[in-house]
Structure 1
Amino acid sequence: MVMIAEFTGRDRTALLPLLLLGDEDITQVRSYMQTGRVLVAQVANRTVGVLLLTEIDDVTVEVKDLAVTPDMQRRGIGSQLVAAAKKRCVPGQRMIVGTGDADLQNIHFYLQNGFRFYGVRKGFFKQYAAPIFANGVQLVDMVMLEQFI
């Protein structure tokens, strides 16, 4: 059984390996890992998923990072984390998320979870220390998706 809870610890470094599954650039992850709210998914006392949600302004929150361990993917855990994050939002609030332009699995996942396209952050991944690839294609732009709660 999957348990979703808010991470209440002060030291989030234990979550770093999971956060790096969702965003491979350690500099980027370190820049935001201590911000916002963190939800964790646990199975048999093992943390298998994480979602980091930051407040952009009074009406917008952003999913900065979402990851599930490879052995637990495709079991609905990511969707449960997104649903739990939505429950913590104020009705009418806008939730946004960005993912790589060639990361078709992530795009499909977010569409299935109610997000819709609203923009592109051109050249976003050029700031990363090393190139990131999805489906054999180097990520360049970040595709932005949104939904209203």
Structure 2
Amino acid sequence: MGMSVTISEATEQDAEQILKLQYLCYQSEAELYGDYSIEPLTQPLDSVKAELRDGTVLVARLGDEVVASVRATVKSDGTARIDKLIVHPRMQRHGLGGRLLNAIEERLAADGTARRFELFTGHRSEGNLRLYRKHGYALVGTERVHDRLTMVTLSKDAEVNAFVASA
């Protein structure tokens, strides 16, 4: 009998597991862009704990193990910045990333403070781009970071998400 994955609000006790999972998940991104100095691979534990205190962080658990996570903050203009959507490599391609993305959008839109969702990824991260487009995100900008990396920013209105969820 298999265990099911549950999604819940992260606690400070999850910080170390989240950081270890983040380190594992971003190895493929670092390899893709030839840059192992990216922020997710150099972020200290204290910074993850601060994100837990100051933003919204959800985790997906399989038993006691954190197998996926996503973070977000809402700016004063109502833009919710979704960040670091990570799924353990052995759990990828089973819809867990999409479930987490939906869960954080619902959580942020529920209290009415998020009017728009925004996220970003690298231009070569085709799996990420496919997932985001599938969930209604559209390209709103690009920024060339260096010759190997262009950041792609995507967004969607929270109202569109609320309509889709009720249909």
Match of 1:98 in 2: 120
The 1-side partners of 2:155 and 2:119 are apart by 6
Please, what is the CA RMSD of the aligned residues?
A: 2.3
Structure 1 93/75 Cα, relative in aligned 2: closer, same or farther at 3 Å? same
Q: Which residue does 1:28 correspond to in 2? A: 39
Kindly report which structure 2 residues correspond to 1:1-149, keeping only aligned pairs within 5 A, or say none: 1-9=4-12, 12-20=15-23, 21-22=25-26, 24=30, 28-29=39-40, 30=43, 33=48, 34-35=50-51, 36-90=55-109, 91=112, 93-123=115-145, 126=146, 139-149=148-158
Q: Distance in 1 between matches of 2:13 and 2:64?
A: 19
Amino acid in the other structure paired with 2:5: V
User: Gapped runs of 5+ residues in structure 2?
Assistant: 31-35, 159-167
Q: TM-score, normalised by structure 2?
A: 0.72
Give, in angstroms, the shift of residue 147 of structure 1: 1.1
Question: Which stretches in structure 1 are left out of the alignment for 5+ residues?
Answer: 127-137
Matches of 1:2 and 1:9 in 2, distance apart? 20
Percent identity of paired positions between Structure 1 and Structure 2: 27
| Contact 2:17–2:66 (8 Å) recurs in 1 | no
Q: Which has the higher helix share?
A: 2
Q: 3-state DSSP class of the match of 2:86?
A: strand
The 4+ residue runs of structure 1 with deviation greater than 3 A are 22-27
How many aligned residue pairs are there?
136
Instruction: Find the structure with the greater CA-based Rg.
Output: 2
